[in-house]
Structure 1
Amino acid sequence: MTGRIVEVAQDGRHLSLSRGFLVVAERGTELARIPLDDVAVLVANAHGLTYSNNLLVTLAERGVAVVLCGANHVPAAFLWPVSGHHVQAQRMRAQLAVPLPLAKKLWQMLVRAKIRQQGAVLEACGEPAGAFDALARKVRSGDPENVEAQAARRYWTLLFGPEFRRDQNAGGINALLNYGYAILRSTTARAVMAAGLHPSLGIHHQNRANPLCLVDDLMEPFRPFVDLAVDRLVRTGHTSVVPETKRFLALVPMQDMATAEGTTPLGTVITRAATSLARAYETCEAVIELPALDSAWAPTALEWPRPPSVADSAPC
């Protein structure tokens, strides 16, 4: 089940558990009540929030990702349950023992998929994309030439204009991307943990200070889906992180996409990718179920819902 992404974005809220519901209150007055069965991710994106311990324990037991956001909507921490998949220890041992050639091959697959999806997004937006398939074919095992960065330099200027630079600390389009990636990261983290893998043991990313290296590796082919949503917002005049744009970006993991198994929500596709990665570690075969590499399977602007109006938005 994909489930809902619940964001608490207003200061001073208190979150608690009541008879199977997540309850949002302020100064003793209940504001919202959400069935726990419907919640996949809880995003805490405000100051002065308080939580009951019972709620956090229950969310962890259910495998709900709790994301604590810091400045500029970038996740600062995730709540990770102690017990997860029934073969978690076995899979983590396989993850620790992954041979370097297999890791390089897996990273090659992820980078190729990301670059081809970037080309598909550009094509869906009416921009020239022919070079991206050629760039994807140039990616060798481990991407030693860093073709990923070469593609990124072309991609951002084609998608958002020659003056655009990707900067996590900037506002506007960059802040929208940050928020969209935070949603995607939480969805991917939940999938990785549900597959019995350790999120800090990456395929390519090895930053000691990053507890989610594997999550950041696996989400790479899915980033262009966020980029497409942000492009849709920008083209309709939405350039700030406000309640209506956050609500729109939170829908990204729930969007349907065509796969070999039929139409499937993106969040489910990410779950399948994490599960297939766990199998790849155990079997030492470089096979990951990833989004289709055919641009015809990439989402187009017409398949996304219209950006909601201020009147439609009701954040907690």
Structure 2
Amino acid sequence: MERIVDIATDGRHLHALRGFLVVSEGRQEVGRVPLDDIAAVIVHAHGTTWTTNLVVALAERAVPMVLCAANHAPVAVCLPLDGHHGQNARMRAQWEAGRPLAKQLWREIVIAKIRWQAAVLEARGTEAGAFEMLVRRVRSGDPDNIEAQAARRYWPLLMGEEFRRDRDAGGANGLLNYGYTILRSLLARSVVAAGLHPSIGIHHANRGNAFALADDLVEPFRPLVDALTLQLLAQGCQEVTPPAKRAFAGLIALDLTGENGTTPVSAAATRLAQSLARCFETGNSNELVLPRPPSPIELTGLGALMT
């Protein structure tokens, strides 16, 4: 299983040695992980240093290095310039894709996200029939912003009427930020490995966002983080503790049921990015392979991540 390496202790030094990422404190080694087993390196701590050789070794494996602020939201990501043997052709197709195709793709992503939100609510015993009605109203490009309408219904039903989603807040919001960072890193890696450019988004188009495409593709997966956050809160976890980090890191290996059997979230992310590349090449949005909403049993299995 690919692993998330989280650096949360101040003053650690990271370097590459004989195929391993080695973590040291002072001159004492405190841990090592095979480079080929790493899905992402996430740095939260102050005073962390690393060698250029390590960053190069990670880039050669398309492994993102994510730097986070105090609220656990990512502020910088290092990814390779080369990611796929057909990268030039795929990036050209991505750049030249017309707005009608982009709008159709965004419609499919919004529909998938709303259905995932409904699945999370239903797993908690909450009636979510209204979400399928919202799905029917999503048009190409989502001009009516049905995504936001679904969110306004979703968060109070999931977290309570008093909850407000705030990237700068702690508590539940901090947990959500950290979980989204894990999945965003996974999607960023998948995008690069598929030969696509992460800054050319389908819908997200902020000029300062270098990972707009990863932010597009992560949307259907976000409710997984929401569901796990809810379970952590129920167990009294209010902050991003080491056990919480381990639970969120385990999300990438969570099994999901798809058309071709059961695959982990990491494989679903790879398949999504690869299918998007085919959409750009063929001009057909029907090529997009989005993950199916999890069943209540699969969502119940999130509890195993906290043990």
Q: Secondary structure at the match of 2:88?
A: helix
Q: CA deviation at 1:277?
A: 0.2
2:119 aligned residue: 120
1:181 correspondence with 2:180: yes
CA contact (8 A) 2:40 2:63 kept: yes
For 2:177 and 2:300, the matched residues in 1 are separated by 20
- Aligned-pair RMSD on alpha carbons? 1.3
For residues 1-316 of structure 1, the aligned pairs below 5 Å read 3-286=2-285, 287-293=287-293, 296=295, 299-308=298-307
Relative to 1, partners in 2 of residues 1:21 and 1:75: Cα closer, same or farther, differing over 3 Å? Answer: same
Paired positions, count: 306
> Structure 2: 5+ residue runs without aligned partners?
none
Amino acid at match of 2:223: P
Percent identity between the aligned chains?
Answer: 54
Do the aligned residues in 2 keep the contact of 1:232 with 1:301 (CA within 8 Å)?
no
CA contact 2:122–2:296 (8 Å) conserved in 1? no
d(CA) in 1 for partners of 2:45 and 2:301? 32
Contact 2:21 2:33 in 1 (8 A): yes
Q: Which runs of 5+ in 1 are unaligned?
A: 309-316
Distance of 1:161 and 1:141 partners within structure 2: 31
Aligned residue identity for 1:120: A
Return the offset for 1:298: 7.4
| Superposition misfits of 4+ residues, deviation over 4 angstroms | none
State whether residues 22 and 35 of structure 1, in contact with CA within 8 Å, keep that contact through their aligned partners in structure 2: yes
Query: How far apart, CA to CA, are the structure 1 residues paired with 2:133 and 2:70?
Result: 37
Matched-pair contact (CA < 8 Å) for 2:250–2:305: no
Match of 1:314 in 2: none
Q: Secondary structure at the match of 2:288?
A: coil
Cα 1:173–1:141 change in 2 (3 A) is same
**Aligned-pair CA distance for 1:297:** 7.3
After TM superposition, give the deviation of residue 304 of structure 1 in Å.
Answer: 3.6
Amino acid in structure 2 at the alignment position of 1:184: L
Q: Deviations over 1:80-127 (max 9, x none)?
A: 112110010101111111111111000000000000000000001121
TM value normalised by structure 1: 0.94
What letter corresponds to residue 222 of structure 1 in structure 2? F
Aligned amino acid, residue 274 of structure 1: A
